[in-house]
């Protein structure tokens, strides 16, 4: 049996989480995809996928084999493209992106990107949860903050400043904090997905914060701040309109932590397809023209 076909079926099944989804993507029948993956496991004498009623998961052996299989499949695709002198990238590109970046900066670039590359399809997976590129089949991920995963390569495409703000009415009623430690006397709007949890980082200290409202969306943090529900911490561009209109005021100037990096991530041991490279270049260029995304320390 064609070992390359078996490898394709396994890789797409691992990326999409089910035999039926992989079959639709590959234009094959679901029974055939299931049979091909089973044949590959038989050939390797290893269980690659753990079957369950809800979703398929890679076994440890499957994770190792997937990384190598993906590298080989991408290399074949790139080799064929080179021989055919294909200038325009094609195919489906999956990109994971945090909600605030997606809505504020990435989505406005999507129409121009798709016009520039008519043979390319974009699956933009917008979520603030942590996305595992290998398990979920995304080729790229935008990530905010410092990096720790050594299995990924990163290209920094931006830096932004986090600021503290509050509604004018809130500050008139409760007063303005003079130091980060003063936040203990205030209602703070807690973003529950912040990497430091219910603690805010400043230039020389980190202070615990609390309040009557916790949210898991940056946009909700902005709305709560505008509604006068407390002091908020977030990217400067998140509050730009409210600050410009005078509805919000900055507090704790001079105590800000160093700028926060934005990276584009991809799997280290996987050949990056041309469609991913052009998207990375396109977004990096767009971010480079936004002042709020080019903060300096």
Instruction: Read off the tokens for 289.
Output: 């023209």
Residues facing 215 on adjacent strands: 191
- Angle value at C-alpha 48, between 45 and 52, nearest 5 degrees: 125
Q: Based on C-alpha coordinates, what's the Rg of the chain? A: 23
Going by pLDDT thresholds of 50, 70 and 90, the confidence category of residue 271 is low
Contact 6, 41 (CB under 8 A): no
Summarised one tens digit per residue, pLDDT across range 39-71 is: 999 999 999 998 776 678 888 898 888 888 877
Would the pTM of this model clear 0.85, i.e. be above it? no
Q: Exposed e or buried b for every residue in 235-259, given b needs 16+ CB within 10 A?
A: bbbbbeebeeeebbbebbeebbbeb
Q: Is the pLDDT of residue 83 over 80?
A: no
Q: Annotate 126-140 with DSSP letters as a single string.
A: E-SS---HHHHT-SE
Please give the Cα distance from 119 to 117 (Å, whole number).
6
């Amino acid at each position: 049996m064609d070992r390359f076909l078996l490898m394709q079926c396994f890789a797409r099944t691992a990326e999409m989480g089910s035999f039926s989804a992989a079959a639709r993507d590959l234009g094959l029948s679901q029974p055939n995809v299931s049979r091909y993956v089973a044949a590959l496991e038989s050939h390797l004498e290893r269980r690659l996928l753990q079957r369950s009623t809800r979703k398929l998961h890679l076994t440890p052996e499957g994770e190792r084999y997937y990384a190598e299989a993906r590298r080989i499949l991408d290399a074949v695709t790139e080799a064929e493209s080179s021989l055919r002198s294909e200038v325009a990238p094609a195919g489906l590109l999956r990109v994971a992106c945090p909600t605030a970046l997606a809505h504020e900066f990435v989505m406005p670039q999507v129409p121009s990107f798709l016009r520039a590359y008519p043979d390319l399809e974009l699956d933009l997976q917008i979520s603030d949860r942590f996305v595992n590129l290998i398990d979920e089949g995304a080729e790229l991920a935008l990530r905010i903050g410092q990096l720790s995963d050594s299995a990924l390569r990163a290209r920094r495409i931006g830096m932004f400043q986090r600021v503290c703000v509050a509604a004018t009415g809130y500050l008139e009623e409760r007063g303005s904090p003079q130091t980060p430690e003063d936040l203990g006397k205030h209602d703070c709007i807690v973003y529950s997905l912040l990497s430091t949890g219910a603690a805010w980082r400043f230039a020389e200290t980190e202070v615990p914060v609390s309040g009557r409202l916790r949210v898991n969306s940056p946009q909700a943090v902005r709305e709560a701040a505008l509604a006068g529900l407390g002091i908020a911490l977030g990217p400067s561009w998140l509050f730009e309109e409210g600050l410009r209109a005078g509805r919000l005021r900055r507090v704790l100037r001079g105590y800000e932590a160093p700028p926060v990096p934005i990276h584009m991530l991809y799997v280290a041991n996987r050949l990056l397809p041309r469609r991913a490279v052009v998207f990375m270049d396109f977004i990096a260029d767009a971010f480079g023209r936004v002042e709020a995304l080019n903060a300096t320390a």
